[in-house]
């Protein structure tokens, strides 16, 4: 029997959301080599889950393109402060908004705080999500099912509804789906289903909002080295995470963020209702 290759050190975090500061090696999520060219100068983006992982990389990339950014996070204060530090290093402003996007009222509050602080909103990135692996559908409680969809799907509806009046006439919405929406995952039934819902939501919302001048697209990452991984998988699973991709490795947030930059700028002006697939080389439909 051939043993699976160890790709990362075994590790596990006993809290959700996970902490980027506790990961080893740390994710590449600071966009150090990225050179902006002013494609978002003067604009404002709101990024959920912007404290770490893909959200951090997207936030920093937007800042390097000239945008001010508001980030929403649950309770990872140190990670959020680090992201703000990176944005300020890029010469832009970063507003930290702490709370649970699973609560409808907080979604409205996040949009209101962004507008009060920056007086405009151009890009909404629905990125935050959660997952709870279970070996059988019998182990998925109703409360877990509701929680997963509340965070991963319902929050997108609430945030879009709150942001819509301010995005009309050129706004962009970018949703984070997942490769699991296309190939499934036997241990992530509710998570995969929620990500499939996000794909359909993206396609339908794109059709509904084009008349308002708003473009809606999504990104469906494959396995990426973010705090979500050690906080939800066993240490052994973490060590092998990403090894089943054609590239035989996990992706880094820095490798995913450029897709979000593309969809937020005029470079993607003829795209709506589409999904980009930075997933380590796995061909998928749609």
Question: DSSP code of 151?
Answer: I
Cβ atoms within 10 Å, residue 3:
6
Three-state DSSP at 193 gives helix
Rounded Cα distance, 137 and 129, in Å: 20
**Quick one: DSSP state of residue 223?**
S
**Residue bearing tokens 């998928």:** 284
Please list, residue by residue across 23-59, b when 16 or more beta carbons sit within 10 angstroms of its beta carbon and e when fewer do.
beeebebbbeebebeebbeebbbbbbbbbbbbbbbbb
CA distance 163 to 180: 28
Q: Give the separation between CA 116 and CA 97, rounded to whole angstroms.
A: 12
What is the distance between the alpha carbons of residues 240 and 217, in angstroms, rounded to a whole number?
Answer: 31
* 191 given a catalytic annotation: yes
Q: Which of 62, 166, 182, 191 is catalytic?
A: 191
Residue of 238, 284, 28 whose CA lies nearest to 133: 238
Sheet of strand 68-73: strand arrangement: 94-98, 68-73, 44-48, 123-126, 172-176, 215-219, 275-276
Q: What angle, rounded to 10 degrees, do the helices at 155-167 and 104-118 form?
A: 30
Q: What DSSP designation does 46 have?
A: E
Residues identified as active-site: 191
């Amino acid at each position: 029997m051939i043993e699976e290759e160890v790709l990362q050190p075994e590790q596990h975090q006993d809290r959700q959301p996970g902490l980027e500061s506790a990961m080893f090696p740390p994710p590449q999520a600071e966009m150090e080599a990225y050179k902006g060219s002013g494609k978002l100068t003067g604009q404002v983006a709101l990024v959920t889950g912007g404290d770490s992982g893909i959200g951090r990389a997207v936030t920093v990339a937007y800042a390097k393109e000239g945008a001010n950014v508001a980030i929403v996070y649950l309770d990872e204060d140190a990670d959020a402060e680090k992201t703000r530090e990176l944005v300020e290093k890029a010469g832009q402003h970063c507003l930290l908004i702490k709370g649970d996007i699973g609560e409808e009222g907080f979604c409205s509050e996040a949009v209101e705080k962004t507008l009060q602080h920056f007086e405009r909103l151009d890009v909404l990135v629905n990125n935050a999500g959660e997952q709870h692996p279970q070996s059988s559908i019998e182990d998925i409680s109703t409360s877990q099912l509701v929680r997963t969809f509340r965070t991963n799907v319902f929050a997108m509806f609430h945030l879009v509804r709150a942001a819509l009046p301010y995005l009309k006439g050129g706004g962009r919405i970018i949703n984070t789906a997942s490769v699991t929406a296309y190939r499934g995952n036997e241990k992530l039934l509710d998570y995969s289903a929620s990500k499939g819902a996000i794909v359909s939501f993206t396609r339908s919302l794109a059709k509904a909002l084009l008349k308002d001048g708003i473009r809606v697209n999504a990104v469906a990452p494959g396995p990426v080295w973010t705090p979500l991984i050690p906080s939800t998988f066993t240490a052994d699973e973490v060590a092998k995470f990403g090894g089943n991709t054609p590239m035989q490795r996990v992706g880094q947030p820095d490798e995913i963020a450029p897709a979000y930059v593309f969809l937020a700028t005029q470079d993607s002006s003829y795209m709506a209702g589409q999904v980009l697939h930075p997933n380590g080389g796995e061909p998928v439909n749609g």
